[in-house]
Amino acid sequence: MQTITSVFEMQTLAEDLRSKGQIIGLVPTMGALHEGHVSLIKLAAEQADTVVVSIFVNPTQFGPSEDFTKYPRALEADVAACEAAGADIVFAPTAEEIYPKGYSTYVIEEHIAKPLEGVSRPSHFRGVTTVVAKLFNIVRPDLAVFGQKDAQQVAVIKKMVADLHFTVDVVVAPTLREQDGLAMSSRNRYLTATQRIEALVIHRALRKAAGMVAAGECRVDRLIAEATHLIAQHRRVRMIYTSIVDRTTMEAVKGEIVPGKVVMTIAVWVDEIRLIDNELL
């Protein structure tokens, strides 16, 4: 396995691989890898001849008061995890490589990115779509693997791929969870033991809603009310949003849901730590 930090070197290698008929799979990450990322790498390895894992803490997707400076960085451990999982290349550029001096071009999706995360983090998806578009142009992947935990991100990227005619197959892997149900996230390492116990209510709320749907309850207001009630019982957990949305458009669903067509998505603060999760209903 090799590690590349230069955009030019990565582009040159990608062109060489494509000229030889290699299928390239990309797993975009911000590092601080966990078993969820490992599952994405392994899925990419099943479908591609060459797997590239990008490791880049993207400054443009963080708001001014967010945790960019303290976001966990562990490149040496991440590279080892990538190799063990079956990756062939780690692309780990610096911010100066991706956003050189004078950089001023951004990619903006103007519909799916607006609700949910877009309300509380208005510049977030501009950063996501910009860096993913750049990665697609640098790595030239045939497929790119993303996790279902970031449901809105997946929907935004799929729309960008369709609208801008990228020839990339977006592969979505299921959310991987800890044994206690907490969705795997790099930010979980911020949690104290007490905060982690509190955070488990997110998954319980989602499972409560899923159980209600399985029992025949399809009214959106009842599903959201039950999930909200559960979360409100935990003093360290503050609701940012709970919503049931169309899986493709991220538009809020009203009235009654059609099972199999929607996703319940939740974002909370556990003290100062922001966590998201979702459940397909």
Which amino acids are annotated catalytic? 37
> Closest Cα partner for 141 from 151, 132, 152, 128?
132
Q: Give backbone dihedrals phi and psi of 278, rounded to 5 degrees, phi first.
A: -160, 165
Q: Are 245 and 115 in contact (CB under 8 A)?
A: yes
**Cα gap 93→104, rounded to integer Å:** 18
**Cα gap 90→95, rounded to integer Å:** 16
